[in-house]
Structure 1
């Protein structure tokens, strides 16, 4: 009798694509989801992604690069079932002195880039009659922030994008939700002065900055079957700073 051959290990979890998944909140989300057993890919423009995650170089402002990135993920992992649109940039300055490029580049990356990856994800999700689309916005998009009119506008736009999308594709089993982080400990906040951090603490009811894992946990929940009846929602993860706007 022939010896039984060893079969390939069964794939587990969902296929998840995280944009901007090579640093900060995006890297934490990708790592958290991979540790939970999902098959995770992450886009990046420069640098690299963590081990165990499929890295895909992609500028989300370019629809052709977006299409190529999805094809690579589909070929290596399968159709994208969960999209986490996280890629974003900041170019802060007061509105009166803001250059056209500073406005346009932030809108192009944060808002139009999120639309580009969404549009590419939708057809396969519609065919499968399942999908989770999760946008990473910001408390700034809801509260506003002096010197960040471009960033705040781009992040506020994600709420309208998600809620319109929820109405368009909900009948196909696709949800669209927004996570709105507050002040989170990252390399960016590590550069703040002690006084600035103390000022932020004073504004936050929980009295501390958030951790990247706080955001990753909210994303994991929205990606799960347990969140199947939640769509068009904005989930604030901000220590109470925005009080649920």
Structure 2
């Protein structure tokens, strides 16, 4: 299948490792130029950009604190300057702070909402304004979690709340933007084998696998393959959906 992605331009947040890295490289393999970001510059995010460029595309790594409105706006402005037109936005950056609901510090609660929900709102708002102003279509893809629907059983109520907000944001933006050519979708992840989940998986061996009907934790590339398709032209009739990519944990 021709995904018709070659020559497109994409912004991928939280791309230094794990799912974000896999998504960035998956898009690069399809000929998509990239601006990617991490919370700070370093060898890891720069190596992702370099690897992406090995597929013959342009790729630039930037630092951005997506919990800061000023930093987020500056990042999107620079991404547009570097890429010109923006075709695809993947809101992947997120934090997974631990704490039982009766003990969560207010600053952890607020930081979770800032990074996981307000950040994607601001990047999407910028993307929409830019494309609507130019009369151009686009794809927004929000990386979500099964916790948005099931809540958290492991001390991540603030994370679950922020992700539930993203579901409603995805639907609302899709209703507003789809008639003007910008589709907005999400993808709900279960447990993925990343650094973010490593400690939790090691502390509870077999726990997550027992909850997954497919019997295994996802690899980042499993998720990237789905996201690349969602960004493609053949997926153009999808909008306002949050796709279950949990190995059957969610089944909604």
TM-score between both structures, scaled by the size of structure 2:
0.88
Counterpart residue number, 1:232 = 240
Length, aligned pairs only: 234
Query: Once superposed, which parts of structure 1, at least 4 consecutive aligned residues long, lie more than 3 Å away?
Result: 188-195
TM-score with structure 1 length normalisation? 0.90
Conserved 8 A contact 2:98-2:156? yes
> What CA deviation, in whole Å up to 9, does each residue of 1:156-208 have, x standing for no partner?
11110010001111111110001111111112344356672312111111011
Query: Which residue of structure 1 aligns with residue 77 of structure 2?
Result: 71
Q: Say whether 1:134 aligns with 2:128.
A: no
C-alpha distance after superposition, 1:112-169 (max 9, x if no partner)? 1111111111112212330100000111111111311100000111110010001111
Alpha-carbon contact 1:61-1:116 (below 8 Å) kept = no
Structure showing greater radius of gyration is 1
CA distance in 1, matches of 2:102, 2:138: 41
Task: Judge conservation of contact 2:68–2:114 (CA < 8 Å) in 1.
Answer: no
The runs of 5 or more residues in structure 2 that have no matched partner are 54-58
20, 30, 45: which one pairs with 2:24?
Answer: 30
Greater RCO (Cα-Cα under 8 Å, separation 6 or more) = 2
The CA RMSD over aligned residues, in Å, is 1.7
Aligned residue among 149, 152, 175 for 1:167: 175
Q: Is the 8 A contact 2:12 2:35 kept in 1?
A: yes
Q: Which residue of 1 aligns with 2:117?
A: 111
Cα deviation, residue 90, structure 1: 1.7
**2 CA distance for matches of 1:14 and 1:193?**
36
Q: Identify if the C-alpha distance between structure 1 residues 221 and 56 changes in structure 2 by more than 3 Å, giving closer, same or farther.
A: same
1:94 aligns with 2:100: yes
Which segments of 5 or more consecutive residues in structure 1 lack a partner in the other structure? Answer: 1-10
Tell me by how many angstroms 1:44 deviates. 1.3
Q: Residues of 2 paired with 1:120 and 1:233: CA distance?
A: 21
CA 1:217–1:161 in 2, change beyond 3 Å: closer, same or farther?
Answer: same
